[in-house]
Amino acid sequence: ILLKHRRNGSILLPPGPPGLPLIGHLHMQMLDNSAPHIFLWKLSQKYGPLMSLRFGFRPTLVVSSAKMAKEVMKTHDLDFCSRPTLHGSYKLSYKGLDLAFSPYTAYWREIRKICVVHLFNSNRVQLYRPIREDEVSRLIAKISKLSVDSKPVNLSEAMMCLTSTIICRVGFGKRYEDEGTERSRFHEMLNEAQALFVEFFISDYFPFMNWVDRISGLLKRVEKNFKEFDTFYQKLIDEHLDPNRSKLEQEDIIDVLLQIWKDREFAIDLTIDHIKAVLMNVFVAGTDTSAASVIWVMTFLMKNPRCLKKAQEEVRSLMGKKDFVNEDDTQALTYLKAVIKETFRLQAIVPLLVPRETMRKSNISGYEIPAKTLVYVNAWAIGRDPEAWENPEEFYPERFIGSSIDYKGLDFELIPFGAGRRGCPGIHMGVVTVELALANLLYKFDWEMPTGMNKEDLDFDVIPGITTHKKNALCLVAKEINAASYLAKLPISMARRRKESFSVKRFVTALDLICGARAH
Ligand code: HEM
């Protein structure tokens, strides 16, 4: 029987655990739904980096090593670059009119081109720099107030507020009040959408069992969330189309999309639904990925005081007596960048990436992968691939100092943003926010565990979702420090060296500006 399961007629599938008749391995998915990336990683240690499963009628492939990821996302990228039609994402993306959940078609190529050229390019990211810097400095001021009474700061909440405020200002030019009902409504909608993306719809695996999803109330839930978002987008679009609307300093993302819609310069005839679908991607993908990244970095740093101290020393001595670390300054923070990479390696924020689907039959390492196979690339497991990493379980940012390994999708041992045709187009936008927020949190405050807790109490439990959030909020006590007195305490030679390297950096920045090199 086992052999029959593994061989599908004369096709040799990659190895995998024995499944049950009809349901295949669905029971496994349902039993361990809290952290599927860890569950799949454990299975892959037994069955190998290319593992076959079957969820109901869907053949499934799990990729768990850097070598196999390269095969799938580079050598055979075109065969593996579509997306499956899963109920939650299909509905919320206006039947795949967006970028992230659209199957690979001529339409997707065109909408990806539009978004990369107009929304995610470096000029646009740079245009929104004042918004990011303003919001981070407001956050620092808020934490400063709490630090006076040594009250613990709920950093998880604070980071979600920060990133969603940035995305609202960038997306539609509005700033919701911190405790306002509109903001909490927006958060609720986002959270519900995140939950629905990973909700188990039986009809995704047995199309004829749609009625079960109806009875369980899931279809109603997804319909409700869709309608709420739709009304929300429509209101914003109407406001933007109002000729009496006062113009903002810089155009927001809705302005850009509406301009493209009016110009009709592209091969596809854009409609308002296309615009709404793309907006969904910007709000959902742009908010909680950056917030979760900052929280995981801070968690690792609290667990590793040596690295925390080193990252703080770097930013404090480079900054001298400045009050705020801006986006030019963060470029020089080599150690902080290494800390972020090390966090992405051990705690990929989107651990199974966004699921893919094969376009056609293909052959990898002698195994045949059928058309329409659901594909999970386990970035979390790849970050622990013993063939790619020495002491993979150790948090050791120094491994990236002097190393050319980066997360931009060319080094398959580190793919927190995916790779290939479907790689994340918002990488630049995400990373600048993460670096800016972290640099200022580390620069301005010393961080301690709340009274009665120690670093051993910090856990890595996650909430199920496409993006992994820390299950238990990260609450820490902030102690504001004075940069000048900190500098005075540094050994003279160190302070001078840091000051000199800072001046050299400023000189290079000035030179770049004169040459116009930083304009992009
Ligand atoms: C630290 C922050 C971020 C992380 C870790 C992240 C991660 C990812 C990952 C893993 C994918 C799937 C790639 C694949 O399938 O190979 C993805 C896709 C995507 N991301 Fe991001 N992302 C981040 C920030 C952003 C931001 C800020 C935006 C936009 C505002 C964005 C927009 C998108 C879109 C539209 C896709 C779908 C691309 C496609 O299917 O063609 N992301 N992201």
pLDDT for the residue numbered 486: 60
Q: Which of the residue ranges 53-67, 204-218, 319-333, 495-509 would you say has the lowest mean pLDDT?
A: 495-509
Q: Is the pLDDT of residue 509 over 70?
A: no
pLDDT for the residue numbered 397: 98
Q: What is the mean pLDDT of the chain?
A: 89
Q: How confident is the model at residue 145 (pLDDT cuts 50, 70, 90)?
A: very high
| Average pLDDT, integer, range 141-164 | 93
The 8-class DSSP code of residue 85 comes to -
Angle between helices 218-241 and 181-198 (to 10 degrees): 130
R_g over Cα of the chain: 24
Rounded CA-CA distance 364/71 in Å is 7
pLDDT for the residue numbered 194: 87
- For residue 236 and ligand 1, the question of a CB distance below 6 A is answered with no
Distances (CA, A) of 95 to 59, 87, 412: 22, 9, 31
pLDDT for the residue numbered 184: 81
Q: How confident is the model at residue 326 (pLDDT cuts 50, 70, 90)?
A: very high
Q: Are 58 and 374 within 8 A, CB to CB?
A: yes
* Distance from Cα 329 to the centre of ligand 1, integer Å: 25
Rounded CA-CA distance 364/74 in Å is 12
Using the structure block, give the residue that is written with the tokens 């969904």. 280
| β-strands 7-8, 367-369 pairing | unpaired
Instruction: Kindly report, residue by residue over 230-271, the tens digit of the pLDDT.
Output: 999 999 999 999 988 877 777 899 999 999 888 887 778 889
Distance of CA 349 to the CA centre of its chain: 5
pLDDT for the residue numbered 174: 85
Q: Which of the residue ranges 179-193, 376-390, 500-514 would you say has the lowest mean pLDDT?
A: 500-514
Q: Is the pLDDT of residue 510 over 50?
A: no
Ligand 1 pocket: which of 121, 424, 469 to mutate (most atoms <8 Å of CB)?
Answer: 424
Of ligand 1's atoms, which has the minimum distance to the CA of residue 379?
Answer: 10
Q: Is the pLDDT of residue 372 over 90?
A: yes
Q: Is the pLDDT of residue 507 over 60?
A: no
Q: Is the pLDDT of residue 380 over 50?
A: yes
pLDDT for the residue numbered 30: 67
Rounded CA-CA distance 436/25 in Å is 43
CA dihedral 91, 95, 98, 99 (to 10 degrees): 100
The percentage of residues in the chain with a pLDDT greater than 90, rounded to a whole number, is 75
Contacts of 266 (CB under 8 A, 6+ apart): 110, 113, 114, 260
* Distance from Cα 111 to the centre of ligand 1, integer Å: 15
Rounded CA-CA distance 321/516 in Å is 28
Q: Are 166 and 131 within 8 A, CB to CB?
A: yes
Q: How confident is the model at residue 331 (pLDDT cuts 50, 70, 90)?
A: very high
Q: What is the pTM of this model?
A: 0.90
pLDDT for the residue numbered 519: 30
**Phi, psi (5° rounding) for residue 450?**
-60, 155
Q: Are 320 and 483 within 8 A, CB to CB?
A: yes
Return the exposure string of 430-450: e unless at least 16 CB atoms fall within 10 Å of the residue's CB, then b.
Answer: bbbbbbbbbbbbbbbbbbbbe
* Distance from Cα 339 to the centre of ligand 1, integer Å: 20
Instruction: Kindly report, residue by residue over 486-497, the tens digit of the pLDDT.
Output: 656 655 544 444
Tell me the residue type at 50.
Answer: L
| Average pLDDT, integer, range 84-92 | 94
* Distance from Cα 424 to the centre of ligand 1, integer Å: 4
List 475's β-bridge partners, or say none. 154
Cβ–Cβ contacts within 10 Å for residue 497, how many? 13
pLDDT for the residue numbered 518: 31
Q: Is the pLDDT of residue 506 over 50?
A: no
- For residue 96 and ligand 1, the question of a CB distance below 6 A is answered with no
Rounded CA-CA distance 26/30 in Å is 6
- For residue 171 and ligand 1, the question of a CB distance below 6 A is answered with no
Q: Which two tokens stand for residue 359?
A: 């376009």
| Average pLDDT, integer, range 79-88 | 95
**Three-state DSSP class for residue 448:** strand
| Average pLDDT, integer, range 212-219 | 94
Q: Is the pLDDT of residue 516 over 60?
A: no
The 8-class DSSP code of residue 470 comes to E
Q: Is the pLDDT of residue 517 over 70?
A: no
Tell me the residue type at 494.
Answer: M
Instruction: Kindly report, residue by residue over 50-79, the tens digit of the pLDDT.
Output: 999 999 999 999 999 999 999 999 999 999
| Average pLDDT, integer, range 432-459 | 96
**Three-state DSSP class for residue 289:** helix
- For residue 430 and ligand 1, the question of a CB distance below 6 A is answered with yes
Rounded CA-CA distance 460/299 in Å is 8
* Predicted-assembly ipTM surpassing the 0.90 threshold: yes
| β-strands 356-357, 374-377 pairing | antiparallel
pLDDT for the residue numbered 378: 98
- For residue 340 and ligand 1, the question of a CB distance below 6 A is answered with no
| Average pLDDT, integer, range 309-332 | 93
Cβ–Cβ contacts within 10 Å for residue 409, how many? 19
Q: Which of 334, 333, 331, 337 is nearest to 508 (CA)?
A: 331
pLDDT for the residue numbered 460: 93
Q: Which of the residue ranges 345-354, 379-388, 505-514 would you say has the lowest mean pLDDT?
A: 505-514
Q: Is the pLDDT of residue 458 over 70?
A: yes
- Nearest residue (CA) to ligand 1, atom 42: 426
Highest mean pLDDT among 30-34, 356-360, 502-506: 356-360
Residue 264 gets the label, from left (phi > 0), alpha (psi -120 to 50) or beta, of left
